[in-house]
Structure 1
Amino acid sequence: MPSSIHVSRRRFLRQTGLGLFALAGVPAWAQAMTMPTGPKLSPNKASPAFVPDVEIELVARQSSVAILPGQPTRVQQYVARLVKGPEGTLTNLPGSYLGPVMRLSKGQKVRIHFRNELSEPTIAHWHGMHVPALMDGHPMYAMDPGETFVYEFEVLNRASLNIYHPHPHEMTGRQVYHGLAGGILVNDEEEAALGLPAGEYEIPLVLQDRRFDADNQLVYVRHMHERMMGFHGDRILVNGRPDFAVEVASRAYRLRIMNGSNARIYKLGWDDGTPLTVIGTDGGLLEAPEVKPYVMLAPGERLDVWADFSGRGVGSQMVMRSLPFSGALPMMARRMMGEMMHSSLPLGSDYPLFTVRVTRRVSESPSLPRRLAKLSRYTLADTANPDKPLPLEISEGPMSMLLNRRPYAHDDLQPFERIPLGSIQLLEIFHGHGRSGEGMEHGGGPGMGMHGGMGMMGHRGMGMMGGHGGGMEGGMGMMMSMAHPIHLHGQSFQVVSRTVSGAVLEDYASVREGFVDSGWKDTVLTMPGERIRLIKPFQDFKGLFMYHCHNLEHEDMGMMREFSIE
């Protein structure tokens, strides 16, 4: 009898979702997932036929950096050396554990010798860059310690801010958290003709949250709930530094902002209510500047902000804050976790990010261009599947974060994940809460609810909560739904529409004005109850390209799939 009771209780916890919290105390050593990661492939070597314009040696290694007063913090760090290329290709951020900023130009041929000096496997992904599949940093190319992978590619991107970071399966979150990340600034002639702020007037700002112990060492994922919700630190670092401040002149600047956090979502806004003037997103410049009261920025997203301090007196200052918002965490977490979720820096609260101080007056400043860039706009008529979007279904459950109802497994392709080379596809991201492991039809759509278990409780015990008629709005599915930044490797995409309905509307009102969807994107924040349609080209390169949640703990749990471009 006691055994039977125990099994029944465990089954109840898993089916109701309470298991998410009952298992929160599982120790870190027991949290490793066991999903197949695919074959171990030999590292790529340099091709004699490839003649680079830029050649870089990049190393991932153990290091220590003084971040807080007192004892140095042990980190993992990218260190680079320019072998060939223009002066200024590499710029180190002063006193930071972050990798150097790489400045490249459209049309350049780039070779990067990446050596692993860590004590564990790693591989580098060029987030936002349009490169061949072999060069994209797929987990199957993760290198053992001591190995070197040679990347060779031509820069096809338009001017934009991109990221390089590790992508070994089940280890990405931990390696990024411990310091492995850097920025890639691509320039092109269209951008150069605008005369935008450059040099000291163009400031990269990498936002990250971290948690330190009493010895100044990084603390990461102590409980399972920190993996399920994504890890949130209790201290903000900018460019790897605490209490970050920038000294500026009374003129216009260009702030290149990157969310380098594992899971934290920011709602950016100036403390004095000054609107943000956005000139670009992940994939580069917008057609024209957009003025926003605030801007949402999820992990993996980037923002290009025109910040004009003209007319502000010497000694004045502005503080960029993350403003209050709600709805990003599951209702179940908010209602039931109580002290488990206690933090001095709760997600969605109001806190400072960095300070800008005007320290000198100048008489001249560039003017904000009315037109920025010429963008080619896709329509449904351009897509190969206007009536049958490719599904990217989000589902959450106890110990389970999935895309298209299946955990990541190398080469576990569903029919709709095979994409013809050269095609332009309509995709739809939505919360479906389908049963783990089930296949799904291409374009499954709104009617796909849960089956059995909590699906029955959703209909009988708690009732529907409005919306599309049977997906995430039903019962416990709604209670477990949370925000996910969805990242697609390869070419950038264009957001066509966002729709939201049901019980989430009040929460959604706190974020809805902060989306900048008019430009090119590679990562899009999907809120609970939201459906996002986007158009993405699949051009130039065949092979396997990942798509996944950029909440890095979710990615490591298997919330990741592949497209095969054929």
Structure 2
Amino acid sequence: MSVTRRQALQIGGLGIIGAFGLAVPLTSVNAKSASQLASRNMPKPFQRTLPIPEVLRPSSTVVDPDGHKRHLYKIEQKAALANIVPGLSTPILGYNGTFPGPTIKVNQGERITLEMDNVLPLFHPQWGYRLDTSTHLHGSASLPQFDGYANDLTGLGYCKDYEYPNFQPARTLWYHDHAVHNTAQSVYSGLAAQYHLHDEVEGSILPQGRFDVPLTVSDAMFAANGSLGYNDNTHSGLWGDVILVNGAPWPVMKVQRRIYRFRILNASIARSYRFSLSTGDAMTIVATDGGLMPAAQQVTNWRHGGAERYEVLIDFSKYPVGKRVELRNLSNKNNVDYDFTNRVMAFDVTDEPVDTSGPGARVLPTLLAPSTAMSLKTSDSVKTRRMRVKRDLDVWTIGGMTWDEVVESGYRKVLANPDLDDVEIWEIENSSGDGSIRSTSIWWTSRSSAATGRHPSPTSVGPRTLSTWARARRSGCS
């Protein structure tokens, strides 16, 4: 079954600094390549093994005044070199120096504090902006002071503690830099990672452990020296010619003949994907941004927008040993595509003894978990708000306001102030008229709806997170 975007909206330091070098303008983009790499340095599909990010372990555990345990985690944001293109090193910014950063796995109700230390260079070595950071846990119901507000910045030599209550149902989240005006460049440079919230429901029906695999998908372009190129076409979007999965170009993963669970995050700046299998077989979507769907959905492809997360089951038991199954990209309107952006990664079916321990190894689930958000009806709405997103002279406005105007107002200018538990309909229109695409992030769990007369798409029947500040400190940073 094919899923369109419109349908999906209906319901629901010095060595590193030297390696960066100067910014390389990449303005010549054609159907063959966006990168300036020599042919010997251009990565080829299916030459690398899929890397799996490490799982971050707590550094210690304390007891809150109410007797509840709290796990403490520490991460350093720092510059590093990555092996992405053959024969060259690529300077990145990373959580603990890796891209993606380490995966954080927590259980529902488990409180954590994440100490985020900024040991980055003072200025971005390639693009020159000041590397103050703000960490946002995308999809979390965090308190305002821990939500990674864009102007809540942590500078070089400072750290900040982010507290996460993790009371929501199981879901795939991700944490990333959210610094004002520089989010795209910093995430593109490597400041992004997955965060998995588990609960008893998903833990009893879906694959766990090594069979629960994070896939962070992004696209990139490279300068001749191996550094990341950056051409966002005057803020209209960046489309790279190299597809990365967990930071590796078009990797290969060896799989057993059983069911695997993949948590797919689109961490690209502008590119949307339409994922499919080379065999044409169906995959089973079991969760969206806001957690488990009420019922599993069988799809042969789906549109996957920026920052969205889907949890997908693939049953490899149907394939013979030695079979290669590719995850492909059918692409979407408004993308800029190149020779190999239709490929994502490959799975090689092996003769490794099948591990059937744990849930979900052999049987695809049908019913999953009820969702309060997905039970909402249009008639529940108490108000309809219409918001216009527009681009004027390379400046984006929402409701006629720029971000700087919001800041200058002391953050008192607001577009919406719904009461707690209110149900509202928000109609968001991009009226730029120039073909520009603008992602809109609404930081809470919701469902999208529109009266178009079409049946809901399989991917729209799950809850969505379409998603404010404690001060950073200098003393006490480890």
- Structure 2 length-normalised TM: 0.75
* Structure 1 residues 71 and 393: alpha-carbon distance in aligned structure 2, compared to 1, 3 A threshold: same
What letter is aligned with 1:214? A
Q: State the partner residue of 1:419.
A: 418
Q: State the partner residue of 1:344.
A: 338
* Structure 1 residues 415 and 66: alpha-carbon distance in aligned structure 2, compared to 1, 3 A threshold: closer
Q: State the partner residue of 1:548.
A: none
Cα shift readout 1:514-539 (whole Å, capped 9, x = no counterpart): 7611111013xxxxxxxxxxxx9xxx
What letter is aligned with 1:404? G
Out of 295, 309, 321, the residue aligned to residue 288 of structure 1 is 295
Cα deviation, residue 427, structure 1: 3.0
Q: State the partner residue of 2:213.
A: 203
Note the 1:124-143 alignment, pairs <5 A. 124-143=135-154
Residue 396, structure 1, aligned to residue 391, structure 2 = yes
Cα shift readout 1:263-288 (whole Å, capped 9, x = no counterpart): 11111111221122111111111111
* Structure 1 residues 205 and 498: alpha-carbon distance in aligned structure 2, compared to 1, 3 A threshold: farther
Q: State the partner residue of 2:363.
A: 367
Residue 152, structure 1, aligned to residue 163, structure 2 = yes
Q: Structure 1 CA distance, aligned partners of 2:318 and 2:456? A: 28
What letter is aligned with 1:158? P
Q: Structure 1 CA distance, aligned partners of 2:201 and 2:350? A: 32
What letter is aligned with 1:369? P
Structure 2, unaligned stretches of length 5 or more? 1-25, 28-61, 123-130, 470-478
What secondary structure, in the 3-state scheme, does the structure 2 residue paired with 1:321 have? strand
What letter is aligned with 1:418? N
* Structure 1 residues 113 and 161: alpha-carbon distance in aligned structure 2, compared to 1, 3 A threshold: same
RMSD: 2.8
Structure 1, unaligned stretches of length 5 or more? 1-23, 26-45, 81-95, 330-340, 434-476, 502-511, 524-535, 537-542, 545-566
Note the 1:14-25 alignment, pairs <5 A. none
Pairs aligned (count): 389
What letter is aligned with 2:316? F
What secondary structure, in the 3-state scheme, does the structure 2 residue paired with 1:173 have? helix
CA contact (8 A) 1:278 1:289 kept: yes
Cα deviation, residue 134, structure 1: 0.5
Cα deviation, residue 259, structure 1: 0.4
Q: Which has the larger radius of gyration?
A: 1
CA contact (8 A) 1:390 1:425 kept: no
Cα shift readout 1:48-101 (whole Å, capped 9, x = no counterpart): 858652110111111112122222211101029xxxxxxxxxxxxxxx521100
CA contact (8 A) 2:242 2:341 kept: no
What secondary structure, in the 3-state scheme, does the structure 2 residue paired with 1:69 have? coil
What letter is aligned with 2:422? I
Q: Structure 1 CA distance, aligned partners of 2:230 and 2:94? A: 17
Out of 38, 52, 56, the residue aligned to residue 73 of structure 2 is 56
What letter is aligned with 2:176? H
What secondary structure, in the 3-state scheme, does the structure 2 residue paired with 1:141 have? coil
Q: State the partner residue of 2:376.
A: 378
Q: Which has the higher helix share?
A: 1
Q: Structure 1 CA distance, aligned partners of 2:452 and 2:313? A: 29
Out of 475, 481, 492, the residue aligned to residue 445 of structure 2 is 492
Cα deviation, residue 374, structure 1: 1.7
**Greater relative CO, 1 or 2 (CA 8 Å, sep 6+):** 2
Residue 229, structure 1, aligned to residue 183, structure 2 = no
Q: Structure 2 CA distance, aligned partners of 1:357 and 1:227? A: 40
CA contact (8 A) 1:100 1:182 kept: yes
Cα deviation, residue 235, structure 1: 0.6
Q: Structure 2 CA distance, aligned partners of 1:188 and 1:352? A: 33
Cα shift readout 1:546-565 (whole Å, capped 9, x = no counterpart): xxxxxxxxxxxxxxxxxxxx
What secondary structure, in the 3-state scheme, does the structure 2 residue paired with 1:516 have? helix
CA contact (8 A) 1:293 1:513 kept: no
Q: Structure 1 CA distance, aligned partners of 2:414 and 2:109? A: 35
Cα deviation, residue 140, structure 1: 2.3
CA contact (8 A) 1:117 1:145 kept: yes
CA contact (8 A) 1:392 1:427 kept: no
Cα shift readout 1:337-360 (whole Å, capped 9, x = no counterpart): xxxx7x636xxx961001011012
CA contact (8 A) 2:274 2:332 kept: yes
Q: Structure 1 CA distance, aligned partners of 2:111 and 2:411? A: 33
What secondary structure, in the 3-state scheme, does the structure 1 residue paired with 2:222 have? coil
Cα shift readout 1:395-440 (whole Å, capped 9, x = no counterpart): 23441333222211324555642233x232313233252xxxxxxx
* Structure 1 residues 402 and 292: alpha-carbon distance in aligned structure 2, compared to 1, 3 A threshold: farther
What secondary structure, in the 3-state scheme, does the structure 1 residue paired with 2:132 have? coil
* Structure 1 residues 79 and 158: alpha-carbon distance in aligned structure 2, compared to 1, 3 A threshold: same
Note the 1:460-475 alignment, pairs <5 A. none
* Structure 1 residues 216 and 500: alpha-carbon distance in aligned structure 2, compared to 1, 3 A threshold: farther
Q: State the partner residue of 1:176.
A: 187
What letter is aligned with 1:521? R
CA contact (8 A) 2:270 2:306 kept: yes
CA contact (8 A) 2:63 2:70 kept: no
What letter is aligned with 2:103? V
Cα shift readout 1:197-229 (whole Å, capped 9, x = no counterpart): 1112111100011111121111113xxx62332
Residue 191, structure 1, aligned to residue 202, structure 2 = yes
Q: Structure 2 CA distance, aligned partners of 1:48 and 1:370? A: 39
CA contact (8 A) 1:252 1:308 kept: yes
Q: Structure 2 CA distance, aligned partners of 1:483 and 1:308? A: 35
What letter is aligned with 1:354? M
- Structure 1 length-normalised TM: 0.64
Q: Structure 2 CA distance, aligned partners of 1:404 and 1:114? A: 34
* Structure 1 residues 192 and 398: alpha-carbon distance in aligned structure 2, compared to 1, 3 A threshold: same
Q: State the partner residue of 2:308.
A: 301
Out of 245, 264, 267, the residue aligned to residue 260 of structure 1 is 267
CA contact (8 A) 1:59 1:114 kept: yes
Structure 1 stretches of at least 4 aligned residues deviating more than 6 Å after TM superposition: 512-515
Q: Percent identity?
A: 23
CA contact (8 A) 2:399 2:415 kept: no
CA contact (8 A) 1:320 1:355 kept: yes
Cα deviation, residue 321, structure 1: 1.0
CA contact (8 A) 2:262 2:311 kept: yes
CA contact (8 A) 2:273 2:331 kept: no
